[in-house]
Structure 1
Amino acid sequence: MQSNTVVPTLTTIEELYKTYKPTLFAIAYRMLGSKTDAEDMVQDLFMNMHGVVNDNIQNYKSYLSKMMVNRCVNELTSARKKRITYVGNWLPEPDVQPIGQCPLECVERQDTVSYAFLILMEKLTPLERAVFILREVFAYEHREIAEMFNKTEVNCRKIYSRVKKKVDASNIKDEILSSHLHEEKEMVSRFIAALSNGNVQSLVNLLTEDITFIADGGGKVSAAINLISSKERVLTILNALSSKQLPGSELHLVEVNQQPGIMITNDGYCTGVICFDWDVNTMAIQRVYLVVNPDKLQHVNTGFITSASEC
């Protein structure tokens, strides 16, 4: 007896890929904090779809989203175990784009996420992260989310409500900062000038008293293993960065997850990304994030550097 299951043709899978790749990638990037891992997750999902998709599926978006979320939850559960042995601080992979974006890329750049959002997601459990992202970012109904995780709608509402309270302040802050982009660009430009000229002391008024410096070298590149707090200590580490690691490098004003940031290059190759978290009351810098782990810069070198040179 022949099976009634209809295996989609390659064309059908290609159509699904073209239609839903942006949504699935957006889910995975927010869940995993890595563009590289998100792309791999999307590719892997579609490569394993033969014999799985059939005509009984009424809502492909929901079906594929469920598959993606489950994969990400499993990956996060495994990754958290691996991070026990991670050297130093773990930071999300930055999304770097030119300040003056290429016109053809503008449509694709509408669905982005702030670096502060990714940092906040790291503080949540995989389930909390998934429920919040699906509801807050993609407007899934609680009923749909409950079906994805085999939980009650009431349970999902409680999870979402609990997480919403944790992140509401930061969401408001992102909205406030969006109206200060010109001011941020000027301050980041001053930051670049100070690091390039070795005049780090000129940054003293740009930093909050309780500023924190967080670096991620992944054990592959020299970077501060512990968080560095207080204005005096952060100025010291920035001075060391300026005098010992940056000579011979170029610093560029770029967009890092929708906020002004810095890309460090050496011979045209990205060796680091710096981004900031701002105190909305004083518009001073309260956190400096430095990503120098080369694994987290691969996407910048294969994507941003290439596209920027073509614009």
Structure 2
Amino acid sequence: MEELYCQYKSLLFTLAYQITGSAAEAEDAVQDVFIKAYDVHPERLEEPKAYLCKMVTNRCLDLQKSARRKREIYVGPWLPEPFHTPEEDTLESTVVRRDMLSYAMLVLLERLTPTERVVFVLREALGFDYPEIAKLLDKQEANCRKLMSRARSKMGISVGEPVAAEAAEIEWVSRFLISFEQGNVDQILSLLTEDVMLVSDGGGKVLAFTRPIQSRDQVARILASAFEGIKPYYRGSLFTEIAPLNSETSIVLRSGDETVAAIFLQRKHGKLAGIYIVRNPDKLLLLNKINRP
């Protein structure tokens, strides 16, 4: 079983995280599944990948039922919990980079039912074919195809449109970060699409917008004043750093050892179409554990 754990833990974490949107819950789900798998008869593990994926999926579907009830009373927008992905080329980091949807796509997944979300993740992120998905979910293949079609429609993704988002390269993120730190409205404005959207998640625990901001001028003004505006709330000096989060080049704001915010940037046609700012301190705990120079 230890060999199976080493072989599949990254795949299963990636699957669980994208179903739940929570790194902590994903880690717990994977651990729970392997504990239960120790008692499984070897004959049932002839196809370990399929069996373990099914166990993780069922566990995450149970978690999603309670999570949806909590999100109904959540203060403001709910964003996925960020997690650090090492830049080193290890087997684990390679699996996560290969099978992880963009952060912007994870946000769109919140529009789906739990089953639609599972089908979308299995198909678009992990590359399962429909017969495999049908077997894993104990559904008809035609039903899975309908669920996939419904999911793409809810997410605003047309038939044939690629799911992969435009990557925010480090040079581009650096350019945005300079404008952000300097509070230069005109420079920030030049980086934004006409329909740019800013979403912040404070969970009612810290200062954050309780609804998405979709005015280009307003987004530019907010970003230009944000860095200086939140400094008074922290005793230590506030600083920024570029960090690999969720297999993306992202931005982290820190005050001493405390992570203040994680910022994800979504590009479209070479400009900034989405800014996602996670400020809920409960969702930043994993980032506080990152070893930094």
After TM superposition, the score normalised by the length of structure 1 is: 0.81
Unaligned runs of 5+ in 2: none
2:115 to 119, 127, 132: 127
- Residue 260 of structure 2 is matched in structure 1 by 271
Secondary structure at 1:270 match in 2? strand
1:72 and 1:85 map into 2 onto residues whose CA distance is: 20
Partner residue of 1:52 out of 11, 16, 40: 40
Which of 241, 260, 271 is 1:284 aligned to? 271
**What's the TM-score, normalizing by structure 2?**
0.86
Counterpart code for 1:290: I
Amino acid at match of 2:11: T
The sequence identity of aligned pairs, in percent, is 38
**1:223 maps onto 2:211 in alignment:** no
Q: After alignment, is 227-236 or 23-32 more displaced? A: 227-236
Match of residue 3 from structure 1: none
The answer on 1:251 being equivalent to 2:240 is yes
Q: 2:25 aligns with which of 30, 37, 52?
A: 37
Cα deviation, residue 116, structure 1: 1.7
Alignment of 1:66-145 (within 5 A): 66-97=54-85, 101-102=87-88, 107=94, 110-111=97-98, 112-145=100-133
- Residue deviations 1:104-163, cap 9 Å, x none? 575465433311221122121111111122233333342332233332222122222443
Is 1:301 the counterpart of 2:271 in the alignment?
A: no
Give per-residue Cα distances to partners, 1:224-260, cap 9 Å, x unaligned. 1121121222123223412221473111122333433
User: Whole-Å Cα distance in 1 between the matches of residues 102 and 93 of structure 2?
Assistant: 17
Deviation at 1:192, TM superposition (A): 1.7
CA distance in structure 2 between the partners assigned to 1:122 and 1:234 by the alignment: 23
How many aligned positions are there? 285
Q: CA RMSD in A?
A: 2.5
In the alignment, is the contact (CA less than 8 A) between 1:187 and 1:206 conserved in 2?
Answer: no
Looking at structure 1, the residues matched to 96 and 45 of structure 2 have their Cα atoms a distance apart, in angstroms, of 30
Which residue identity lines up with residue 240 of structure 2 in the other structure?
L
Partner-residue secondary structure (3-state), 1:140: coil
Q: State the 1:40 CA deviation.
A: 1.2
- Bigger radius of gyration: 1
Q: Which of structure 1's runs of 4+ aligned residues deviate more than 6 A?
A: none
**SS of the counterpart of 1:227?**
coil
Pair 265,29 (structure 1): closer, same or farther in 2 beyond 3 Å: same
Q: CA deviation at 1:66?
A: 0.8
Q: Which residue does the alignment assign to 1:211? A: 196
1:171 shift after superposition: 6.2
- What amino acid does structure 1 have at the position aligned with 2:249? P
Residues 163 and 204 (structure 1 numbering): CA distance in 2 closer, same or farther, change over 3 Å?
Answer: same
2-structure distance, mates of 1:291, 1:170: 31
Extract unaligned runs of 5+ from structure 1: 1-12
Any idea what the Cα deviations from partners look like across 1:67-102, whole Å, max 9, x if unmatched? 11111112112211111111111001223447xx34
